[in-house]
Amino acid sequence: MNQPLMSDKAVCCTAKEADAMHTRKHRRWSDLIIGNGLRAGTYFIVVVIGYILLDILIKGLPAISWSFLTEAPRKGGVEGGIWPAIVGTFYLVFGTIAAALPVGMATAIYLSEYAKQGPFTRAIRVGISTLAGVPSIVFGLFGLGLFVLFFRFGASILAGSLTLACMVLPTIIVAAEEALRAVPQTLREASLALGAGKWYTIRTNVLPYALSGMVTGSILGIGRAAGETAPILLTAAAFFLPKLPSSVFDPVMALPYHLYVLATQHPAADKVQPMQYGTALVLIVLVLGVNLGAIFLRIRFRKRYKW
């Protein structure tokens, strides 16, 4: 009695199975293509980065020596070292940190903890992300107009640091706000419910857990500033200075600008090629070092807070 029904069912199942196998086969092909395509894209990036690093390493390493790192350039950069440029870059980076970190953190705390979420804060956020997309040369011109000329700082560490600070502010604000938002809302509520004020709550129960993320995110942004040429081109950098700057109102040499001049503006481009690569290598190691430092900091702190 059941016989016809059963066979009917069986047919239906095999048909379905065949269908399913067909789609599976189809899916396997598309998976293969897409998977490998994505993999190829990733490898391509690795190869490009690897080539750049290797090229700079091979050509730059011979130029590196103790005197290259510790002496001032001589004969228009053909001989000597890049010490003033290293020092100048450090000055600019520290100036940028000093200017951008407090303002960026304050903005992030305000936006995340205090500001009412509405059209006004939305406009501020749009402004911040727009700022992140502004080309760095525009920041350079802005710095030239505002800090160098209007405030009469001249081409100086101060003007350059402030210009770089404007450039990295969006990165810092976004990173810091993200870190603040990662702190569970329930902690804020628990603290407020115990009668703690808003600032007390932020100080004791938000900032301690967000600080590592805020700082590491900021360092990554500032690492980018260390390698920028355009913003300091018009506001801080000098090609050749025999002595180190003595105040924040002095111009400085800086690695990226030094590299730029050696590569494009120098009359004896062939002769300074080893210097170029040496400078590039030092700059890359410096920026990489900053980024690695930030990453280590993040790993260390992340282990301490878990929820």
Residue ranges in contact with other proteins by CB under 8 A? 116-118, 184, 186-197, 200, 204-205, 209, 305-307
Supply the minimum distance, in Å, between the C-beta of residue 208 and other proteins.
9
Task: Name the amino acid, one letter, at 269.
Answer: A
Report in angstroms how near the CB of residue 204 gets to other proteins at its nearest: 8
Q: Up-side HSE of residue 24: CA atoms within 13 Å toward CB?
A: 6
Which contacts of 106-111 are long-range, i.e. CB under 8 A and separated by 24 or more positions?
Answer: 107/169, 107/173, 107/176, 108/172, 108/173, 108/176, 108/177, 108/179, 108/180, 108/214, 109/176, 109/180, 109/202, 109/207, 111/173, 111/177
Q: Which is nearer to other proteins, 127 or 197 (CB)?
A: 197
DSSP character for 156? S
Nearer to other proteins, 156 or 191 (CB): 191
Q: Is 33 helix (H, G, I), strand (E, B) or coil?
A: helix
- Least distance from other proteins to the Cβ atom of residue 197, Å: 6
Residue 210 vs 222, nearer CB to other proteins: 210
Query: To the nearest whole angstrom, how small is the minimum distance from the Cβ of residue 233 to other proteins?
Result: 44
- CB-based contacts of 294: which residues, under 8 Å, 6+ apart? 215, 216, 217, 219, 220, 223
* Nearest distance from C-beta of residue 302 to other proteins, angstroms: 12
Nearer to other proteins, 20 or 190 (CB): 190
8 Å CB contact between 202 and 192:
no
Distance CA 250, CA 161 (A): 12
User: Closest CB to other proteins among 7 and 204?
Assistant: 204
Q: Choose between 205 and 235: whose C-beta lies nearer to other proteins.
A: 205
In the complex, what is the shortest distance from the CB of residue 295 to other proteins, in angstroms, rounded to a whole number? Answer: 22
CB of 305 to other proteins, least distance (A): 5
Cα atoms found within 13 Å of the Cα of residue 5, Cβ hemisphere only? 2
Task: Provide φ and ψ at 133, rounded to 5°.
Answer: -95, -5
Structure tokens at 9: 């069912």
Rounded to whole angstroms, the maximal C-alpha distance in the chain is 105
In the complex with other proteins, which residue's Cβ is closer, 107 or 201? 201
